[in-house]
Structure 1
């Protein structure tokens, strides 16, 4: 449901252009309703399918920070899409209600995207042996994205023309900020994907006893690649102003599938983690053990990474265990 205050189709004097813009807006709202229905259906269907796994692999974890991290990834999209779907059936919007409705949806969606991207960073951090240097460029892109996100929220939250005469909520804002936000998010995805591909190739060459599916599924390459492709289609669709039905499909997929995909990746990694043998204590021998890694002196980041993401390709043990067992740093 994108409209722009600077678009000549809206601000121009030509009445035919104005009518065409209004028709496109109505079609966008119409197909947006179906997109929200599909989004809510997918999210709840996946939630029901994986609830038993979630209970076993997530909520059984004793670490509150890890459970909080999962909660922020899993449940805001369920709440957001359900509320947006109810809003699609409302046709007597007041100005302030419409502004708050849009800002709530935009910021909640941004929070979900931020947690998804944080998941990318944590997985990258683990794949590169907990090296913080590899996170520099993706982190800068993630922080830079806050600027257009806040600009869109502020502009939509103060727009005085958000409610047309027919009572439909249609906030108007500069499409440039939306494109900038999506482009920065896409740049983040591409950088992370390249780094993951490079690391997976190196690990695969070192020990090629695991197949391609292990790389695609357990190490996240398939997940990251799918999400990047979805975001590419989303940016192209918005930039080129394609057919509203196709555009809303792209938006729905880009807003829904990343959460589902990342949740599945987390559940798969937790399954691998729980099945992996834990080395016996080796403090005296200089070997870092599972109990050492989960000691209270760990930072929150280290705790989350160890609980979930420190699973490496072609190895029975995480990298932090393996390098001490083999004597390599």
Structure 2
């Protein structure tokens, strides 16, 4: 298969969307992330937020750079493939932790999500290795040609994308189930409402994007270059929506400080003087405290 269509417009649009969302939420990030203690949630957030910038720089280089050599394409393609995979998987982990939180840190939910993560890691590793080995590049067909010319690539990433659909489907279902339970028991509050709203709406968007990705990648009537154009868009959705989930949760928890004597380690931050203060959450979420440490 030969790539004949440039994906530069889609990549540039996705990169602009990531930059715009980053600037839009920069103030909240400084307050809620940068000034908070180092926890694994903070590390996951930084990976989701900043690794895509590296991916987009290389995306644009392999699509727009004038005079790029085949040797450069050979090392740039694997970097962008792995950066996209790691960023996407990290976003999935963040959302799974959040879903595990609203289920009261249920061990069965944790075991189920851990199984899905292991399956994805295995499929993604095998698929990425096979895909990177299968990509064949050609020399620029004419002077002034921009980017890398891909003349052949396997569809070994199909299982990766299918597994993403499965993971996102179950996250949506479990989040919606938790929202129904909370509504029936009368334990719904602003924090839980934010968690359920973001989880359901954001993951519906991601689920639709992942399904489209699988279709673009597997349908024989759709050229593979259309899939290559859609990947940056999905990456932008993952980094923007997942980052907003973390920021929204921490912001709501921070607003509720000093309104209760209860403390939580789920959301940490520092006030304007740099002194760490505990954040509070409602009693109904007390059992969900530690999953974002």
TM (norm. structure 1) is: 0.72
1:310-329 map, 5 Å: 316-317=282-283, 319-320=285-286
Contact between 2:52 and 2:87, CA under 8 Å: does it hold in 1?
Answer: yes
Contact between 1:142 and 1:184, CA under 8 Å: does it hold in 2?
Answer: no
Q: Please give the alpha-carbon distance, in whole angstroms, between the structure 2 residues aligned to 1:113 and 1:44.
A: 17
Query: Which residue pairs with 1:136 in the alignment?
Result: 111
* Bigger mean CA offset, 227-236 vs 249-258: 249-258
Query: Which residue pairs with 2:276 in the alignment?
Result: none
Q: Does 1:180 align with 2:150?
A: no
Q: Please give the alpha-carbon distance, in whole angstroms, between the structure 2 residues aligned to 1:137 and 1:171.
A: 40
Q: Does 1:224 align with 2:199?
A: no
Selected match of 1:263 from 236, 243, 262: 243
Q: Please give the alpha-carbon distance, in whole angstroms, between the structure 2 residues aligned to 1:142 and 1:274.
A: 30
Tell me: CA distance 1:234–1:93, structure 2 relative to 1, closer, same or farther (3 Å): same
Matched position secondary structure for 1:174 = coil
1:250-294 deviation line (CA, Å, top 9, x unaligned):
4333221121011111111011110124543xxxxxxxx42xx54
1:80-113 deviation line (CA, Å, top 9, x unaligned):
1122112212354444422211100000001101
Q: CA deviation at 1:246?
A: 6.2
Q: CA deviation at 1:172?
A: 3.5
Query: Which residue pairs with 1:203 in the alignment?
Result: 182
Q: Please give the alpha-carbon distance, in whole angstroms, between the structure 2 residues aligned to 1:91 and 1:153.
A: 27
Query: Which residue pairs with 1:18 in the alignment?
Result: none
Q: CA deviation at 1:43?
A: 0.5
Query: Which residue pairs with 1:87 in the alignment?
Result: 62
Q: CA deviation at 1:71?
A: 1.1
Q: Please give the alpha-carbon distance, in whole angstroms, between the structure 1 residues aligned to 2:8 and 2:152.
A: 18
Matched position secondary structure for 1:130 = coil
In the alignment of these two chains, the number of paired residues is 272
Superposed CA RMSD in Å reads 3.1
Question: Between Structure 1 and Structure 2, which shows a larger proportion of strand residues?
Answer: 2
Q: CA deviation at 1:118?
A: 0.7
Q: Does 1:26 align with 2:4?
A: yes
Q: CA deviation at 1:144?
A: 1.4
Q: CA deviation at 1:196?
A: 1.0
Q: CA deviation at 1:208?
A: 7.0
Contact between 2:195 and 2:245, CA under 8 Å: does it hold in 1?
Answer: no
Q: CA deviation at 1:185?
A: 1.0
Q: Which has the higher contact order (CA 8 A, sep 6+)?
A: 2
1:243-262 map, 5 Å: 247=227, 250-262=230-242
* Bigger mean CA offset, 236-245 vs 95-104: 236-245
Matched position secondary structure for 1:58 = helix
Gaps of 5+ in 2: 270-278
TM (norm. structure 2) is: 0.80
Gaps of 5+ in 1: 1-9, 11-21, 281-288, 295-304, 324-329
Tell me: CA distance 1:318–1:172, structure 2 relative to 1, closer, same or farther (3 Å): farther
Q: Does 1:118 align with 2:96?
A: no
Q: Please give the alpha-carbon distance, in whole angstroms, between the structure 1 residues aligned to 2:229 and 2:137.
A: 23
Contact between 2:213 and 2:227, CA under 8 Å: does it hold in 1?
Answer: yes
Matched position secondary structure for 2:34 = coil
